[in-house]
Amino acid sequence: MSQERDNTMKFQVNHNNKTFMREALEEAKKAYAENEVPVGAVVVYKNRIIAKAYNQKLKSNDFRAHAEVIALNKAQKVIGDWRLNDCDLYVNLEPCVMCAGAILETRIKNVYFGLREVKQGSIVSKLNVLDADLPHKVKYFGGILENESKSLITNFFKKIRKTT
């Protein structure tokens, strides 16, 4: 276990963190309803949500259509700048390597995620992309409303197994 992960686990979740993560979970439920893996993301600027999105990979037949990438892209349009230095990203599942790259590219300030993704999570689980010695540093915090995310994702895969 890395030092960074230890720090993540010591993080004290506040009321705002939970409120914004609940919004990300609401987005994830939209993905669930459309038979997409239930991942939702919101971007917060000055304590206000400026962009929301959910996973649409199947629907759009586009590998880039992860909740995080769509939400970051929407946020850039709202801010009118590709740089999101003063924004935070909330996502209910640990980001993959593509999304971790997008997080770095947009220079987002903080990333808050829910459930750890043991197979390909790229923040703390399989890779530690945000700990790399790169010019831009992004802070990250995991485990926010982790159980809510876990039950949503577990139910989703149960549902998929029943129908296939």
The residues annotated with a catalytic role in the active site are 68
Q: Which of 37, 50, 84, 96 is the binder for Zn ion (CB under 5 A)?
A: 96
At 138, list the tokens: 């992004």
52 binds Zn ion (CB under 5 A): no
Q: How many CA atoms lie within 13 A of 139 on its CB side?
A: 10
111 forms bridges with which residues in the sheet?
89, 140
Helix (H, G, I), strand (E, B) or coil at 141: strand
Helix (H, G, I), strand (E, B) or coil at 65: coil
Instruction: Give the start-end residues of each E strand in 4-103.
Output: 40-45, 48-54, 87-93
Shortest distance (Å) from residue 120 CB to Zn ion: 8
In what helix (H) or strand (E) does residue 137 lie, and over which residues does it extend? none
At 92, list the tokens: 């209910």
- Which residues in the 99-158 window bind Zn ion by CB under 5 A? 99
Q: Which is nearer to Zn ion, 47 or 72 (CB)?
A: 72
Q: Which is nearer to Zn ion, 70 or 96 (CB)?
A: 96
Q: Which is nearer to Zn ion, 12 or 110 (CB)?
A: 110
139 forms bridges with which residues in the sheet?
110
66 binds Zn ion (CB under 5 A): yes
Shortest distance (Å) from residue 47 CB to Zn ion: 25
Candidates 72-80, 90-98, 124-132, 133-141; binding stretch for Zn ion (CB under 5 A): 90-98
Q: By the criterion CB under 5 A, which residues form the site for Zn ion?
A: 66, 96, 99
